[in-house]
Amino acid sequence: MKVVGLSGSKVGSKTRTAMDYTIKALIEQYPDIEVTLIDLAEYDVQFSDGRDYREYEGDTKYVAEMIMDADAIIIGTPIFQASIPATLKNIFDLLPEKAFRDKVVSMLVTAGSPKHYLIAEQQLKPILSYMKAQVVQTYVFMEEKDFYRKEIVNDDIIFRIQRLVEDTVVLSETYTNIRKAKEEQYGF
């Protein structure tokens, strides 16, 4: 099983910090899983121009292919101007319409204000559903007060990250098993 952690912003540190905790939890809880963290702050990804994702070059091609190749994706995103950042939206625009078919996608959201709580529900989930993801319904929402100097200081967040990791892996394995069993019945 391949999991990609996608840290969706070039700005700030909270999302990356939360992703680091998440990847660490994933490795500890499931040492056999192949995990890759892609922090978009570290890649030079171009804007989507509509071509097939395999025809991009360099970082853009790498990021798109890693995501397409994953069984599960954990997306970390901040909330900017009451929406997801353009860096993250661009990743979705680079990929085919049904890119997340047969993939489980889960979310961690960091924000400067509790007023942003429903942004992921109303803006990120519809994109993931449109792209055919099996979405882990519950996401981890974090605010400024949950962090102190690139550390998470709220134990509740740490527990919730552990549960998010577990839900992502369990759902991915479950859907894969159900699909395999179903496909065997087709007989072709």
Partner 1 sequence: MGMEKYRIDESKGLEFGIYTLGDHIQNPATGKRISAQQRIKEIIEMAKLAEQAGIDFFSVGESHQEYFTTQAHSVVLSAIAQATEKIKLGSSATIISTSDPVRVYEDFSTIDLISNGRTEIIAGRASRIGLFELLGYDVRDYEELYEEKFELLLKINEEEVVNWEGKYRAPLRNAEVIPRPVEGSLPIWRAVGGPPASAIKAGFQGVPMYLANLGGPASSFKMSVDAYREALRRAGHNPKDFPIATAGWFYAAETTQQAMQEAYPHIDIGLRLINGQSYPKQQFAQAQDTRSVMNIGSPQQIIEKILYQHETFDHQRYIAQMDFGGVPFDKLMKNIELIGNEILPAVKKYTAKGKED
Q: Which residues bind partner 1 (CB under 8 A)?
A: 49-55, 68, 96, 98-99, 101-102, 182-183, 186-188
CB 138 within 8 A of CB 164: yes
* Residue 68 beta carbon to partner 1: minimum distance, rounded to whole angstroms: 7
* Residue 184 beta carbon to partner 1: minimum distance, rounded to whole angstroms: 10
Give the position of tokens 């047969």. 102
The per-residue DSSP string of 32-79 comes to TSEEEEEEGGGS-PPPP-SS-GGG--HHHHHHHHHHHH-SEEEEEEE-
Nearer to partner 1, 24 or 98 (CB): 98
Nearer to partner 1, 31 or 50 (CB): 50
SS3 179: helix
Cα–Cα distance measured from residue 150 to residue 143, given in angstroms and rounded to the nearest whole number? 13
* Residue 65 beta carbon to partner 1: minimum distance, rounded to whole angstroms: 9
Cα–Cα distance measured from residue 111 to residue 57, given in angstroms and rounded to the nearest whole number? 32
Nearer to partner 1, 25 or 95 (CB): 95
* Residue 69 beta carbon to partner 1: minimum distance, rounded to whole angstroms: 10
Nearer to partner 1, 56 or 141 (CB): 56
